[in-house]
Chains A and B, each alone.
Chain A
Amino acid sequence: MDFISVVLGLLSLITLIYVLMILTSKKRLPIFIEVFYVFAYFFILLVVLFPSLLTIIEESFGITSALNFITYLSIFMAYFMILLLFKRVEEQRAEISKLVREIALKDKKEK
């Protein structure tokens, strides 16, 4: 096992433990996010421990390079999640504005 694999493995393990801690805490994330991150980091950990797993995936799915496929898929997933985050931030901005407006109008009414 080379140095990069060890580092990647350790980082995946730490992140996996962190995600599992969130799962068991009171402050949860949306279930889709929790499941995605558990699977993603568990998969990275598996690939680090069992490099031949990539060869099995290549043979099973007829892919030339499983690593390239996983890399492109990861980039696609990351961009998609950023998009979802932007959408969520925008929704919250609108909600905050609505709240600030109601407070201003309510204060005026009470005076």
Chain B
Amino acid sequence: MKKIPSIAELSKEKKILVGMPAFNEGPVIGNVVKHLKKKGFNNILVVDDCSKDDTSLNAKKEGASVLRHIINRGAGGATATIIEYAKRNDYDYLILMDSDGQHSVEDAKKLLLTSMKQKISLVIGSRIKSDYKHMPLQRKIANHIGSFATWFVFGKYILDSQSGFRVLDKKAIQSVKLSYDRFEFCSEMIGQAYEHNLSVIEVPIKVVYSEHSMNKGHGQNIANGFTMLERFLFK
């Protein structure tokens, strides 16, 4: 049986970056970075989107590199900064994940291996393919609106188009140029991937809906879904 390489082994051959946009994730970011380090991810970038708490400090304490926005730009804006950093520093793979602990580090490895083995440019972690029953209703609705908007504007139906858990290979890193600052970036990235003829697949992931992640106030909701649809239609 072929041995699954460790992250440390993969990192010797390829330059891998884990990028996390963060806004007021001070209570949890330290743990997330710590778990990533334990699994062998050494290049971790946190983009602090002008948090009002100790997000930057706690991320740095655990060994992450931190970039800080002087004005809040939104998840899309922070993600665009991560991609720009990966582009300028010539990374081979970029793993985008949430900084609130919702995404599992094991799944990060799973998405990365999928991209590497199957040579897929954009791998999207799909909550719908695995954990749909436990997804909060608000997120389900926002997701469906987002997926409809993605299909309507870009002609491609992705089940979990609003998942921020993704792996981009070098081709995708160099091709994607996000212009939306808020959650529209999720759909925009998919649209650009298809525009550039990049391969895209969805892989099931599990999500942990903690008290912190559900009570933080910002994040995908129904209003965002409609705003996204409106922005795509009238851009």
Contact = CB atoms under 8 A, between A and B. Distances in A.
B67 A108 contact: yes
Interface in A84-108: 93-94, 96-97, 100-101, 103-105, 107-108
Interface in A28-63: none
B85 to A, nearest CB: 6
**B contact patch SS:** mixed
B2 to A, nearest CB: 39
Contact of B67 (A93, A94, A97, A107): A107
Interface residues of A, number: 11
Contact of B70 (A93, A100, A108): A100
Contacts of A96: 71, 73
A73 B59 CA distance: 57
B147 interface: no
Nearest to B178: A97
A18 B85 CA distance: 48
A94 B68 CA distance: 18
Contacts, number: 36
A102 to B, nearest CB: 9
B69 interface: yes
Given A104-B70, A105-B88, A107-B68, A93 B181 contact: yes
Given A97-B77, A100-B77, A105 B67 contact: yes
B143 to A, nearest CB: 25
A103 B70 contact: yes
Given A96-B71, A108-B65, A101 B80 contact: yes
8 nearest CB pairs, A to B? A104-B67, A101-B81, A97-B77, A100-B69, A97-B73, A108-B67, A100-B71, A97-B181
5 contacts: A94-B179, A97-B77, A97-B181, A100-B70, A101-B69
Given A104-B47, A104-B67, A104-B70, 5 more contacts: A96-B71, A100-B70, A100-B73, A101-B73, A105-B67
